[in-house]
Amino acid sequence: MADDDEIDLDDLERRMEGAMTSLRQEFLTLRTGRASASMLEPVTVDAYGQSTPINQVGTVTVPEPRMIVVNVWDRQMVGKVEKAIRDSGLGLNPVVDGPIIRLPIPELNEERRRELSKVAATYAESARVAVRNVRRDGMERVKKAKAGGMSEDDQRIWSDEIQELTDRHTKAIDQAVEAKQQEIMQV
């Protein structure tokens, strides 16, 4: 195979980095002490027939350190927003008052810390799956290139490089989740 751009390692690495960036963003939502509007970023609401981020159906504010307030613009969406928050796995208990939903942030007891640690592990597993999907895509490109005339030696070299990229990103994910879990469990 004379044309190496069929297997673009930079593209595969960029996509794997995207999974890491997404994981870091999700970890930001797991604040352990103070309330933060970013805690609600992963929450989506079934609004008007599609999955919509919560900040597109209402205003999210933090009026005090242990409280998040969502002011829902469309009164008909209040129930759906409340359900989405309850089902999010963030451990928040919404209090509805008309179009306003108050979210008191509970003190982090040992049980809540374990729950947040499990949420972090779930986020990490999603990132690992994303990295493995990119790996699978890269390996499929190698197979197509082999069918197009790539030598077995070149195929092995490309496969090894893709696997090394995957291993490096999986290790980074493991380190990130371990650090986040330690941060969560710290009293």
- In this predicted structure, what is the pLDDT of residue 173? 96
pTM above 0.75, yes or no: no
Q: What CATH superfamily classification does 4-26+109-185 receive?
A: Ribosome-recycling factor (1.10.132.20)
- In this predicted structure, what is the pLDDT of residue 187? 62
Among the listed residues 93, 90, 92, 94, the one whose alpha carbon sits nearest the alpha carbon of residue 116 = 90
CB neighbourhood size of 175 (10 A): 10
Return the ∠ at Cα 62 (arms to 57 and 63), rounded to 5°.
Answer: 120
Tens of pLDDT along 56-86? 999 999 998 889 999 999 999 999 999 999 9
The mean of the pLDDT values for the chain is 88
Domains 4-26+109-185 and 33-104 share a fold: no
Given the structure tokens 């797991």, which residue do they identify? 30
Sheet of 100-104: strand order equals: 58-64, 67-72, 100-104, 95-97
Per-residue pLDDT of the chain (187 residues; tens, 9 = 90+): 344 446 888 999 999 999 999 998 888 777 666 677 888 888 899 888 899 999 899 999 999 888 999 999 999 999 999 999 998 877 788 999 999 999 998 777 888 788 889 999 999 999 999 999 999 999 999 999 888 888 989 999 999 999 999 999 999 999 999 999 988 887 6
Q: What are phi and psi of 2, to 5 degrees?
A: -85, -20
Rounded Cα distance between 160 and 164, Å, is 6
- In this predicted structure, what is the pLDDT of residue 89? 77
Rounded Cα distance between 20 and 123, Å, is 10
Q: Quick check: helix, strand or coil at residue 150?
A: coil
What's the CATH fold of domain 33-104?
Gyrase A; domain 2 (3.30.1360)
CA distances from 127 to 16, 31, 122, 166 (A): 9, 19, 9, 11
Bridge partners of 58, per DSSP, are: 72
Q: Where are the domains of the chain?
A: 4-26+109-185, 33-104
